[in-house]
Amino acid sequence: MSSSWKELKEFDLSKENLIKLLNNEIPAIRIKGFASDEECAAFTEAMKSANIKTYGKAAVGYIGMAQVEYRWDKTKEDYFADVKSAYTDQQFVFDNSFNPMQRLIDRLSECWGGSVGIAKEPGFGDYFAGIIRFASKGIALHADYAPFNSPGYAIENIDSQLGWNLFVEVPSGGGVTTVYNEPWTPEMKDGTPPPSYGLDRSLVEGSESFDYAPGKGDVVLFNSRNPHEISPGEAGSDKERLQIGSFIGRLADTNQLVLWA
């Protein structure tokens, strides 16, 4: 992975820029106007009526499921047994608004030229992709990279990982994501996934960084192996930071892009 970004700015979606982002040569890609105001409003309304759960120390509200929540005390069988119900909860939102997951897959397929789709686990089937989150409280410094987060799962075979989010509602201020150019390379002990949330700030001290603000109807992609954090939404704002997203991993041997949450 590149040790420095070529330019500290957001880039448009193209195959060339996707490769650069996967290689950590640029900080972010933004797809402006991915969803209309009407679609965002319908998605927001549907979110608030769906089956909302919470995870993490910040008690982030979410719809769907996150694979990393199954790292230590649950089995692969547990994870895939829960995928169906997670998709049922997600589908409620899609049925009452629109399907940004399929739209994102279509957009990526148009420019990538290779296979793009939901990640699959041999013997189990599809992963869950497209977690819907209420992220106005902010999220602490963390990193996401399946070879360290998910040993024993097929997604550990990726060689690069992106995160993407579509923002359907944004606060009047705050809610800014800061990405640090310091690819996460923890020590694995006996194949046990290391903690990836609430990372020590010494890991990013002096590192190159890039901030991006959420934009209603926009999709932003970045390299999620880099430690990143989200500031809380501005106090008193009548809007929340509402989003849907997943990870995108590159399988180098087949040039496939696979998605999971």
* Residue 3 included in any domain: no
* Residue 5 included in any domain: no
* Residue 180 included in any domain: yes
Overall number of domains in the chain: 1
- Percent share of the chain, pLDDT over 90: 81
Residue 57: band (very low, low, confident or very high) from pLDDT cuts 50, 70, 90: low
- Predicted pLDDT of residue 232: 87
* Residue 122 included in any domain: yes
* Residue 92 included in any domain: yes
Query: 216-249: b or e for each residue (b if 16 or more CB lie within 10 Å)?
Result: bbbbbbbbbbbbbbbbbbeeebebbbbbbbbbbb
Q: pTM for this one?
A: 0.94
CA 255 – CA 1 distance, rounded (Å): 17
* Residue 114 included in any domain: yes
Q: What is the pLDDT of residues 9-33, one digit of tens each?
A: 999 999 999 999 999 999 999 999 9
Domain of residue 64: give its range: 11-260
* Residue 40 included in any domain: yes
The phi and psi torsions of 255 (rounded to 5 degrees) equal: 60, 25
Over residues 218-229, the mean pLDDT reads 98
Q: What is the pLDDT of residues 137-185, one digit of tens each?
A: 888 999 999 999 999 999 999 999 999 999 999 998 989 999 999 999 9
What CATH number has the domain bearing residue 215?
2.60.120.620
Handedness of CA 250, 252, 255, 258 (dihedral sign): negative
* Residue 103 included in any domain: yes
Is the confidence at residue 56, as pLDDT, over 90? no
